[in-house]
Amino acid sequence: MAPNLRWDGQLWPGVPMTMLLSEISGKDARDDSLENSRSRREQGEGNGDASDWRAEVQVHLPALGVIDIIFRTRRDAALQVEIKPAEESARDSIQVGLSSFRERLSSLGIEVNLALGSRA
């Protein structure tokens, strides 16, 4: 069984947040993305000591509503972040600032694959 950590609390007063942090097993990490699996095999990546992790965060923001954010880390790869707002109007607001946010992260030397998804 993979280790998990769940936290429920306040991001700041009046803004509830839930976070679930999970280690991704080797099989789940490989199955998560066929393309990434092929890339790892092509690069000769072995089963080193590093672990792959997934964090699922849900925040209830006053102006934007419920936002789900999924973070994935993979060995020798950029952090993957998917932002999934519940409301279409929130999605539009986030879309407006997404490219400047990407630029700020890049200027800080932070390699992140940032995607805006829709809540299923």
Helices then strands, each counted (H, E), the chain: 3, 6
Domain ranges of the chain: 4-24+50-116
Whole-model pTM: value is: 0.74
Residue 77 scores a pLDDT above 70 = yes
How far apart, in whole angstroms, are the C-alpha atoms of residue 16 and residue 117? 21
Of the candidates 56, 53, 50, 52, the one whose C-alpha atom is nearest the C-alpha of residue 69 is: 56
**What's the pLDDT band for 24 if we cut at 50, 70, 90?**
confident
Q: Which of 22-26, 78-82, 92-96 has the lowest mean pLDDT?
A: 22-26
* Residues 20, 21, 26, 28, Cα dihedral to 10°: 20
